[in-house]
């Protein structure tokens, strides 16, 4: 996404999400804007330019607000976007900032009625004396116009900052989670929501953990998971009770005592949780690793992948410059065989669960000429250094890839690098393996 | 020893983060503040468990030549960032200037086992005191018109360290308001549990920072005059009434509680009071009390009275929580 003006903080992309078919890609930024990209249909004439994404629509979703009662400014930054499954020609998505969730409807208009009896082409009323006959207006094609309108505003549901939203597979409800509570909403009802998780202690002094992310199960509309700052996952069943404070399953890995440090607790905080497409597994991201959990095994993850373990010895500096609080997201590919997550220096990592191979790639203008093949990168941690290796100390920690998304079916990924969006396609292996 | 230095540094950094979180856009982030407070707790534990109690922690450039706040003098800042302890010579003057050490001596014994992670006898009274203190804190902040107050009153010196000079934020000597010590929420602070004190802990739990210039430690200059403090609680109460009713009426109007940030505030002075005003503060130190396993550490008695006297104010502040 080319930035036509000086890069400002408002342009920093804060969320990326493909819709269910992968035809549309939505991004939200710190300035409260949403930009939707659409994949161009493959053209027989130019097979090489198959399926590139172009800007489809841009709109301002949220504005900065001020809560006068509490003297709080509410940021307009879009924290999450989730698409609704499509039921008709229109597309719908939910976008949220810290406090308010909005439902947007995106419609296309590519025809325009012409031949009104009472109005002329510009819409001005005709002089009735000139009207001698009646005609039926006809629809004529026009340049495509994409219209976006806010259909619902779900406000005042959260006291704390919303960190995630998730649409239920029933397509009627969705949930929103803040630091201490999770609410269930009906998509058609804005004045009411049901609180389904509340971990706020009676005495805030007893607070030990907060909710960091949550998601509905892709197939079972009664199941959802939420992650905590302590590194645990709780699977909850809404059929069990109205208030799902008691989890059905608790997924937690015992801490490795040899890795204990001042920052053990911070780095174990889960920043993202995603169900696999199959619904059988969950993927979590904490500061240094991504982990795959089997829903049937609560004691420990079935797979753990090191994203950038070379940072383990630098945690104090990363604490100082606040990088240790960065919340990286993670993603599954369509077949759940590869997982992806971002890192620093505009690097992102992919792990193949079957071959156990991993690769580090870079999202940067220099290395991403159109149709260029991304070259794997390597971070050297001392010892023998190869030519193109980057040393840990020369990593740029201001260039972080927090938000990534994988096309639901194809090997197309969207990478948000600060204020730039990169879309990479695997042309060679365009089918999943 | 290096652990102690590292811990000391991490505590400084953490306090700085909590301070800065006040002015961040979008309000205080509960999650981040919770994590920072966890780091603070870990660092504190290491600091306290490191077996070189009386050691003076010099800054990287040697001891900065900063004299500790003298009575009636606004706290001066260390030139090189905050957290640098004052030089030993000046430090020696501190205990003399304040009756505090005497006070420390008293409760130090019973309090000693409470240090380290042990927020053991977190009596109900102390909690009430703390809660009361927090209410007053918030009120005071409201009265001061928000976080701008303390910052504005600063003599150009980051509030954290200045507050930090105040050993565990407990009131000093005779000019104590009744119960302000009871207000010292950190039970494991050296002059901690005063539930046995004559004064009820609940009342205008005024932190030492409210002392202002009259304070022995020469607290933050922006503190309201001590005399004004006691008024705050009643006002706060009445303020709470309608607020409470409103909150009861609508769940949505629930105020984001600031939790144990209040503890930090009491220890480190008015600078943090803005946290209460604004937003869900972090989960902060007082969660130490649930650190059961950690409380079992032996040899946490670095709060011996003679040791305390020797430890510079910054260190005692750490000891306090």
Tell me how far apart the alpha carbons of residues B108 and B110 are, in angstroms, rounded to a whole number: 6
Q: What is the pLDDT of residues A179-219, one digit of tens each?
A: 999 999 999 999 999 999 999 999 988 899 999 999 999 99
Helix (H, G, I), strand (E, B) or coil at A71: coil
| Contact state of A69 with B253 under an 8 Å Cβ cutoff | yes
Burial of A359 (0-12, 13-18, 19+ CB in 10 A): middle
What is the tens place of the pLDDT at every residue in B84-99?
343 444 333 333 433 4
Give me chain B's average pLDDT, please. 47
Whats the size of chain A, residue-wise? 433
What would the pLDDT profile of A125-180 be if each residue is shown by its tens digit?
888 888 888 999 999 999 989 999 999 999 999 999 999 999 999 999 999 999 99
Give me the percent of chain A exceeding a pLDDT of 70.
Answer: 94
Instruction: Give the pLDDT of residue A172.
Output: 96
* Nearest residue on chain B to A157, alpha-carbon basis: B252
Q: How far apart are CA B87 and CA A175, in angstroms?
A: 56
Provide the pLDDT for residue A47. Answer: 60
Are the C-beta atoms of residues A422 and A3 closer than 8 Å to each other? no
Which tens digit of pLDDT belongs to each residue from A322-343? 999 999 999 999 999 999 999 9
Is a pLDDT exceeding 90 seen at residue A344? yes
Q: What is the reported pLDDT for A50? A: 66
Nearest C-alpha in B relative to A327: B32
d(C-alpha A268, C-alpha A363), whole Å = 26
Nearest CA in chain B to A75: B26
- Of B231 and B48, the structure prediction assigns the larger pLDDT to B48
Helix B2-21 and helix B261-268: axis angle, to 10°? Answer: 110
State pLDDT tens for residues B61-74. Answer: 444 443 444 444 44
pTM over 0.90? The answer is no
Could you read off the pLDDT of A360-390 as tens digits, one per residue? 999 988 766 777 788 888 898 877 778 888 9
Q: What is the mean pLDDT of residues B157-167?
A: 40
Mean pLDDT of A290-305: 97
For A262, the closest of B10, B277, B289 (CB atoms) is B10
Tokens 């059929």 map to which residue? A239
Give yes or no for A180 touching B (CB within 8 A). Answer: yes
Instruction: Look at B26 and A74 and tell me if their CB atoms are within 8 Å.
Output: yes
The residue among A190, A204, A322 with the most chain B CBs within 10 A of its CB, best to mutate, is: A204
User: For the residues B284-293, what does the mean pLDDT come to?
Assistant: 36
Q: Please, what is the average pLDDT of chain A? A: 91
Which pLDDT does position A115 carry in this prediction? 86
Q: Which tens digit of pLDDT belongs to each residue from A29-45?
A: 999 999 999 999 877 66
At B310, is the pLDDT very low, low, confident or very high (cuts 50, 70, 90)?
A: very low
What local confidence, expressed as pLDDT, does residue A413 receive?
96
Question: Which residues in chain A are contacts of B252 at CB distance < 8 A?
Answer: 156-157, 159
> Are B64 and B79 contacting, i.e. CB atoms less than 8 angstroms apart?
yes
pLDDT digits (tens, 9 = 90+) for A246-269: 888 999 999 888 888 889 989 999
Return d(Cα B192, Cα B305) in angstroms, integer: 13
**B35–A325: do the CB atoms touch at under 8 Å?**
yes
**Interchain contact A322–B (C-beta under 8 A):** yes
Q: Residue B164's pLDDT band (boundaries 50, 70, 90)? A: very low
Given CB atoms, is A160 within the 8 Å cutoff of chain B?
yes
Residue A391 phi, psi (nearest 5): -85, 155
Q: How confident is the model at residue A310 (pLDDT cuts 50, 70, 90)?
A: very high
Q: Which of A224-228, B5-9, B54-58 has the lowest mean pLDDT?
A: B54-58
Over pLDDT 90: what percentage of chain B? Answer: 5
Helix (H, G, I), strand (E, B) or coil at A236: strand
pLDDT in tens, A65-81: 998 888 889 999 999 99
- The predicted pLDDT at position A306 comes to 97
Binary contact (A322, B254; C-beta < 8 A):
no
Of the CA atoms within 13 Å of residue A311, those in its CB half-sphere come to 23
3-state DSSP call for residue B141?
helix
Q: Report whether B33 contacts B282 (CB < 8 A).
A: yes
**Measured between beta carbons, which residues in chain A are less than 8 angstroms from residue B276?**
none
| pLDDT (average), residues B155-179 | 41
List CB contacts (< 8 A) between B257 and chain A: 204
Which of chain A's residues have a Cβ under 8 Å away from the Cβ of B32?
325
Mutate to test the interface with A, among B13, B27, B49, B278 (most CBs of A within 10 A): B27
**Lowest-confidence range among A238-242, A286-290, B242-246?**
B242-246
Instruction: Output the pLDDT for position B299.
Output: 37
CA A13/CA A21 separation, integer angstroms:
22
- Sign of the alpha-carbon dihedral angle for A324, A329, A335, A338: negative
What is the spatial distance between Cα B64 and Cα B115, in angstroms, rounded to a whole number? 28
Report whether B313 contacts B86 (CB < 8 A).
yes
Mean pLDDT of B95-115: 39
């Amino acid at each position: 996404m080319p930035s036509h003006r000086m890069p400002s903080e408002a342009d920093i992309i804060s969320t990326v999400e493909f819709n269910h078919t992968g035809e549309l890609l939505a991004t939200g930024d710190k300035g409260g804007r949403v930009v939707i990209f659409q994949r161009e249909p493959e053209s027989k004439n130019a097979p090489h330019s198959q399926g590139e994404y172009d800007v489809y629509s841009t709109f301002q979703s949220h504005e900065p607000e001020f809560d006068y009662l509490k003297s709080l400014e509410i940021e307009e930054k879009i924290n999450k976007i989730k698409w609704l499954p499509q039921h008709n020609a229109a597309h719908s998505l939910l976008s949220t900032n810290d406090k308010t969730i909005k439902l947007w409807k995106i419609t296309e208009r590519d025809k325009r009625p012409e031949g009104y009896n009472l109005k002329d082409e510009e819409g001005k009323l005709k002089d009735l004396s000139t009207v001698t006959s009646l005609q039926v207006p006809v629809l004529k094609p026009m340049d495509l116009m994409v219209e976006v309108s806010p259909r619902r505003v779900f406000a005042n549901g959260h006291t704390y900052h919303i960190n995630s939203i998730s649409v239920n597979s029933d397509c009627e409800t969705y949930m929103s989670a803040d630091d201490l509570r999770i609410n269930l909403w009906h998509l058609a009802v804005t004045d009411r929501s049901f609180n389904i998780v509340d971990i706020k202690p009676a005495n805030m002094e007893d607070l030990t953990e907060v909710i960091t992310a949550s998601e509905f199960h892709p197939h079972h509309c009664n199941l959802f998971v939420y992650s905590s700052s302590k590194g645990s996952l709780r699977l909850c069943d809404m059929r069990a009770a109205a208030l799902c404070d008691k989890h059905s399953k608790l997924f937690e890995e015992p801490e490795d005592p040899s890795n204990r440090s001042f920052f053990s607790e911070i780095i174990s905080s889960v920043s993202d949780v995603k169900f696999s497409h199959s619904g059988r597994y969950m993927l979590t991201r904490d500061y240094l690793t991504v982990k795959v959990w089997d829903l049937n095994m609560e004691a420990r993850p079935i797979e753990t992948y090191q994203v950038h373990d070379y940072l383990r010895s630098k945690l104090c500096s990363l604490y100082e410059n606040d990088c240790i609080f960065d919340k990286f997201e993670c993603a599954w590919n369509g077949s759940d065989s590869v997982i992806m997550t971002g890192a620093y220096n505009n690097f992102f990592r992919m792990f193949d669960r079957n071959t156990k191979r991993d690769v580090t790639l870079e999202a940067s203008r220099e290395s991403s000429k159109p149709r260029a093949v991304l070259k794997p990168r390597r971070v050297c941690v001392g010892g023998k250094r190869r030519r193109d290796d980057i040393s840990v100390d020369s990593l740029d920690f201001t260039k972080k890839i927090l938000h990534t998304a994988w096309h639901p079916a194809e090997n197309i990924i969207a990478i948000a690098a600060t204020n730039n969006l990169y879309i990479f396609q695997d042309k060679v292996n365009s089918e999943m393996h | 020893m290096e652990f102690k230095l590292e811990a000391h540094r991490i505590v400084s950094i953490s306090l700085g983060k909590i301070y800065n979180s006040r002015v961040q856009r979008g309000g205080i982030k509960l999650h981040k503040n919770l994590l920072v407070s966890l780091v603070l707790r870990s660092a504190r534990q290491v600091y306290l468990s490191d077996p070189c109690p009386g050691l003076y922690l010099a800054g990287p450039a040697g001891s900065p030549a900063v004299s500790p706040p003298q009575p009636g003098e606004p706290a001066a800042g260390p030139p090189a960032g905050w957290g640098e302890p004052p030089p030993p010579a000046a430090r020696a003057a501190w205990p003399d200037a304040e009756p505090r050490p005497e006070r420390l001596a008293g409760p130090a014994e019973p309090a000693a086992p409470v240090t380290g992670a042990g927020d053991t006898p977190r009596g109900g009274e102390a909690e009430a005191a703390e809660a009361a203190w927090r209410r007053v804190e918030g009120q005071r902040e409201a009265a001061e018109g928000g976080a701008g107050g303390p910052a504005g009153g600063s003599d150009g010196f980051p509030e954290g360290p200045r507050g930090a000079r105040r050993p565990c934020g407990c009131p000093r000597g005779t000019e104590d308001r009744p119960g302000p010590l009871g207000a010292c929420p950190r039970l494991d602070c050296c002059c901690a549990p005063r539930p046995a004190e004559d004064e009820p802990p609940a009342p205008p739990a005024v932190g030492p920072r409210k002392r202002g210039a009259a304070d022995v430690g020469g607290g933050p200059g922006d503190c309201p005059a001590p005399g004004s403090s006691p008024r705050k609680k009643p006002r706060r109460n009445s303020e709470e009434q309608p607020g409470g009713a409103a909150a009861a009426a609508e769940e949505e109007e629930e105020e984001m509680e600031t939790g144990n940030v209040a503890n930090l505030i009491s220890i480190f002075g008015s600078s943090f009071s803005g946290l209460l005003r604004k937003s869900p503060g972090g989960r902060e130190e007082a969660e130490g009390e649930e650190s059961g396993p950690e409380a079992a550490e032996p040899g946490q008695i670095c709060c011996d009275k003679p040791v305390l006297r020797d430890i510079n104010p910054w260190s005692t502040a750490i000891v306090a929580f």
